[in-house]
Amino acid sequence: MSIAPAIDPVEAVKKAFSTAVLDVDYFRDETTIIIDPAQLPAIIRFLRDTVGLIYNYLSDISAVDYWDEEGSYEDRLGRFGVSYHIYSMLYNRRLRVKVFLPEENPTVPTITSIFPAANWLEREIFDMMGITFSGHPNMKRILMPSDWDGHPHRRDYPLGYETIQFSFNIEEIMKHKPFAKE
């Protein structure tokens, strides 16, 4: 049995989805294809099913919040980035497919019908980052309680912590401690 020769995933995606490829990044022998979020399911299916590519293993989905107080994420294509890490077991190659999403209503189509393993990964990103995966079969929180307010991995999520007490800062700490009210 012969195996079809491997083809370049970037060129194949550009040829099949010319308007969907927004950018390509090569860094330390890793390739990232940045695409239009609306085309995500079609491109992931194409990468999985095309002879010469066969990216048949979803190893992870990760999300990044590029927000900062000055709003400097504006040099990117959106506040949030979602990366799909896929692997071709046949050709021993890795590829990252990335989408950027806006600050208001960050939504991307689900890929659970293509890779069922995406189910809990997408739910975790929804729970921690507030990114919605449209068409997901069970889009609800997976880590935090269902009545939790906010999404803890967003960079603008308020931190609640207690400062370590030292002798030089005791007055400042005592001002912020939540004492019982009478």
Q: Is residue 169 part of a domain?
A: no
* Residue at 121: amino acid letter: L
Question: Given a cut of 70, is residue 60 above it in pLDDT?
Answer: yes
Q: Is residue 115 part of a domain?
A: yes
Question: Given a cut of 70, is residue 75 above it in pLDDT?
Answer: no
Q: Report which secondary-structure segment, H or E, holds 176.
A: helix 170-176
For residue 179, the 8-state DSSP code is P
Q: Is residue 51 part of a domain?
A: yes
Question: Given a cut of 60, is residue 121 above it in pLDDT?
Answer: yes
Phi and psi at residue 59, to the nearest 5°: -90, -30
pLDDT score, position 84: 99
Mean pLDDT, the chain, integer = 90
- Please report, rounded to a whole number, the percentage of residues in the chain having pLDDT higher than 90: 69
What gap in Å lies between CA 133 and CA 118, rounded to an integer?
10
Number of domains in the chain: 1
Which residues lie closer than 8 Å to 23 by C-beta, 6 or more apart?
Answer: 34
Q: Is residue 164 part of a domain?
A: no
Q: What is the dihedral of CA 118, 63, 88, 115, to 10 degrees?
A: 10
What gap in Å lies between CA 161 and CA 52, rounded to an integer?
51
pLDDT score, position 170: 74
Q: Is residue 110 part of a domain?
A: yes
pLDDT score, position 56: 97
Which CATH number fits the domain that encloses residue 43? 3.30.460.80
Most confidently modeled range among 41-55, 65-79, 141-155: 41-55
**pTM to 2 decimal places:** 0.84
- Which domain range does residue 105 map to? 9-157
